[in-house]
Amino acid sequence: MSDIQIRTEGRADRITLTRPKALNALTYAMCTAIEEALDRWRNDDSVALVLLDAEGDKAFCAGGDIAEMYRTGTAGDYDYARRFWRDEYRLNAKLADYPKPIVAFLQGFTMGGGVGLGGHVSHRITGESSQIAMPECGIGFVPDVGGTYRLARAPGRLGAYLGLTAARMGPGDAIHAGFADSFVPEARWPDLKAGLVRSGDPDAIAAQSDTPPDSPLAAAQPKIDADFAGTDLPAILDRLKASGTPLAQQALKAMGRNAPLSMATTLRMLDCLGPDATIRDALELEYRVSHRIMEQGDFPEGIRAAIIDKDRSPRWRHGADSVPAGAVEALLAPLGPDTLTLEED
């Protein structure tokens, strides 16, 4: 497959995304190929770890390839998107629970589906160019691919801030928020990869790691915790308006572009995921929204405005101060027989 390279080198099984011109956006076929490789390698004792990287310097993976979801969904076919999400979420769970170390190199943009691919593995490496985010509320969706699991576990109210604003995290912020583990200057990446292939020992990462850059979000944590407390979207917006700080102004600007129903639903999802929640709990909750989002949410309109017509003028269903509680609960209601099981069909 031209979009992905899968092979074994030395003591490492390797997966490389090869769509740099598309910012390595993840297609359905790529998800399937990665899962098949992981299943094939799981019990191969001759190989010690999996190395996950991508071509190009702009992105590890900037998200999922969603244009086909729009085409099929607006034609009334919701099965394609639901199947994509079911299979992608199963892959996310396998990556998180894989019995061998998986080392991911997260250069450039790592967003949405890229977080699902590289954000749950055992060793997540950032570099100077890393920009990690969950931008789904901007296209009328919610953080998914296990993103709500990461957001719910972030310190204080940082998860709410990141989910509602789609703020991009540099390496220091990503490590502080729990979306990455270590910082290795990118000039050292070729030598580190070669060493991992040769030895199969992820302990080699520590020898190449540096102290990460400072985290602006860590410094702003007390203010973020105060402004983003609770699950009431209008109340959060009121506190941000009253705050007047540069961070609050930036947050308001970002949230003003996003779908209010998506933001309100995201807040409720993070509230549902308590301290004992697993990534599988998060994926099951996310799939409740995914299963319904084409019919009951703003996702088709968000894709239209951002990807299809590119007018950047989405017409959302609700205003930020008028999202019905019933609309949120309808998206999050149990699915009954359609519940995500993370088992292969």
- Six token digits for residue 174: 């990503």
Residues 63, 73, 108, 113: which is the catalytic one? 113
Q: Distance between CA atoms of 110 and 132, rounded to whole angstroms?
A: 5
Residues 63, 64, 114, 146: which is the catalytic one? 64
Q: Are 63 and 138 in contact (CB under 8 A)?
A: no
Taking the chain, what is the end-to-end CA distance rounded to the nearest angstrom? 23
Query: Is residue 136 annotated as a catalytic residue, yes or no?
Result: yes
The one-character DSSP state at 132 is E
Going by C-alpha positions, the residue among 126, 53, 115 that lies closest to residue 89 is 115
Q: Distance between CA atoms of 226 and 157, rounded to whole angstroms?
A: 8
Q: Distance between CA atoms of 57 and 106, rounded to whole angstroms?
A: 10
The SS3 assignment for 124 reads strand
Residues 13, 65, 144, 298: which is the catalytic one? 144
The one-character DSSP state at 336 is G
Query: Is residue 88 annotated as a catalytic residue, yes or no?
Result: no
Q: Distance between CA atoms of 49 and 302, rounded to whole angstroms?
A: 38
Instruction: Count CB-CB contacts under 10 A for residue 33.
Output: 17
Going by C-alpha positions, the residue among 79, 68, 150 that lies closest to residue 114 is 150
Query: Is residue 191 annotated as a catalytic residue, yes or no?
Result: no
Residues 136, 181, 227, 286: which is the catalytic one? 136
Query: Is residue 138 annotated as a catalytic residue, yes or no?
Result: no
The SS3 assignment for 179 reads coil
Helix, strand, coil fractions of the chain, as percent rounded to 5 = 50, 10, 35
Identity at 21, one-letter amino acid code? K
The one-character DSSP state at 66 is -
Q: Distance between CA atoms of 107 and 55, rounded to whole angstroms?
A: 10
Residues 6+ apart with CB under 8 A from 2: 18
Active site (catalytic) residues:
64, 113, 136, 144
